[in-house]
Amino acid sequence: MGVGGASPVTEQIAEILDRLPGGASLADTIEFVVAWARANSLWPLVYGTACCAMEMMSAGSSRHDWARFGVEVARATPRQADLIVLAGTIVEKMAQNLVTLYEQMPGPKYVIAMGSCAISGGPFYYDSYSVIKGGDRLVPVDVYIPGCPPRPEALLYGIMELQKKIRTEGRKNPWRVGTLFREPFIDTHSFARSQWEKRNQDETAPTAEQPRPGRLEKTTFPEVAAQKRPRPGLDNAGLLAAIHEAFPDLTAVADTNGDRVLELAVNRDHYLDLAAFLRDDPRLKLDLLLQITAVDWRDRFDLLVQLLSTGHGHKIFLRLAVDRDRPSIASLCPLFLGAEWHEREVFDLFGIQFTGHPDLRRIFLMDNFPGHPLRKDFDDPARVLRRPY
């Protein structure tokens, strides 16, 4: 349903014309012209959240070119747009903004839900704590286009369907279909059925006994041995030896002689000293902080700090046990500026406090989000739909 329906002008003209003999037909004609013009000059809002937005851009660019269908002037402001294509996932934090955008659009306005996420949440329907399960829970949707993401041609088809809908939309009551230019109804089911019956009566038609399709040959693939790749920089024994000079009591978590990255079990007392040593020691020079993340082991948290040396190429991961009841650890921000956002993420999703952090706020979720979703005991039936299998 295009919200807003007919414009007041056509409504007023219709009110006058309806009283005159034959006026209703004239009103229908005016209405048709208005609907025709409206359908062929859709102005979409520049709104895209995820992958579908790329296909929307493709639809607007050289090859597919939606300008051919009158959907040309993509507007960056909702006040000038009359079509919003929900291209991509809608999450809880975005929901309020989407509703505001929709309300700012002048009527008559139309909504196309593009892709699985906008239709139902798609691949994030289960287990996600933030995805809205369908755009139609927020705004009325006119056309749904399935796909993940739908092809640009599918979007063009969806736009054509919307245009068909707009053309038949009547005045006053948006559900009324104009009498004059109603599109003919084609009963494809009865047509197909009659064709099928005709074919069955035909003597020359092929009988039910079809040639059996050849069985698909199952290809078997060879076993391939995994190749050992040389690791850049110092090997794990060399790294450990260099670290032991300054921190003799450090131990590695995982096996240190294999191909795996050296992982050190770190005590919180010398966490910052060790990180500063790893960054500044010329043999190690781990100058790039890959990321800081955490694991919830139900009885404790493990903080994972991943460091990389851009000069030598080797990596070292640090692992710190953090108390689960009162999770708190020193911040790495004085050493790595990039730690700030990573620590905010860990705080947001795990609830670990970082002392000395300059700006510890939630980074992804809304401030009033209850709990920390990546903890294993997080459960919120209002948001999370558990997978039934």
| Residue ranges in 224-253 that form contacts with other proteins under rule CB under 8 A | 224-227, 229, 231-232
Nearer CB in complex with other proteins: 7/291: 291
Please state, as a whole number, how many other Cβ atoms lie within 10 Å of the Cβ of residue 46: 17
Nearer CB in complex with other proteins: 11/287: 287
Q: Is 151 near other proteins (CB under 8 A)?
A: yes
Closest CA to 13 of 23, 22, 4: 23
The long-range contacts involving 263-268, CB below 8 angstroms and separated by at least 24 positions, are 263/316, 263/317, 263/318, 263/319, 264/316, 264/317, 264/318, 264/319, 265/319, 265/321, 266/318, 266/319, 266/320, 267/320, 268/320, 268/321, 268/322, 268/329, 268/330
Secondary-structure percent of the chain, ordered helix, strand, coil, rounded to 5: 35, 15, 50
Nearer CB in complex with other proteins: 108/150: 150
Nearer CB in complex with other proteins: 208/226: 226
Q: Is 343 near other proteins (CB under 8 A)?
A: no
Binder of other proteins out of 28, 31, 340, 343 (CB under 8 A):
340
Question: Pattern 101-140, binding to other proteins, x per CB under 8 A?
Answer: x---------------------xx-xxxxxx---------
Shortest reach from residue 280's CB to other proteins, in Å: 13
Nearer CB in complex with other proteins: 39/81: 81
Nearer CB in complex with other proteins: 24/250: 250
Shortest reach from residue 46's CB to other proteins, in Å: 5
Distance, CA of 168 to CA of 9 (rounded, Å): 18
Question: Pattern 257-286, binding to other proteins, x per CB under 8 A?
Answer: --xxx-x-----------------------
Shortest reach from residue 148's CB to other proteins, in Å: 6
Shortest reach from residue 128's CB to other proteins, in Å: 5
Binder of other proteins out of 315, 327, 354, 360 (CB under 8 A):
315
Binder of other proteins out of 72, 235, 281, 287 (CB under 8 A):
287
Kindly determine how many residues on this chain lie close enough to bind other proteins according to the rule CB under 8 A: 84
Do 376 and 296 contact (CB within 8 A), yes or no?
yes
Interface with other proteins in residues 19-78 (CB under 8 A): 45-51, 53-55, 57-58, 61-63, 76, 78
Q: Is 97 near other proteins (CB under 8 A)?
A: yes
Structure tokens at 323: 């108390």
Distance, CA of 277 to CA of 298 (rounded, Å): 31
Shortest reach from residue 94's CB to other proteins, in Å: 5
Contact residues for 36 (Cβ-Cβ < 8 A; gap 6+): 167
Binder of other proteins out of 30, 246, 304, 321 (CB under 8 A):
304
Q: Distance from first CA to last CA of the chain, Å, rounded?
A: 37
Instruction: Concatenate the DSSP letters of all residues of 164-232 into one string.
Output: HHHHHB-SSSTTPBPSTTPPPP--HHHHHHHHHHHHHH-TTS--S-PPPPPPPPPP-----PPPPPPPS
Q: Is 301 near other proteins (CB under 8 A)?
A: no
Dmax (CA) for the chain in angstroms is 103
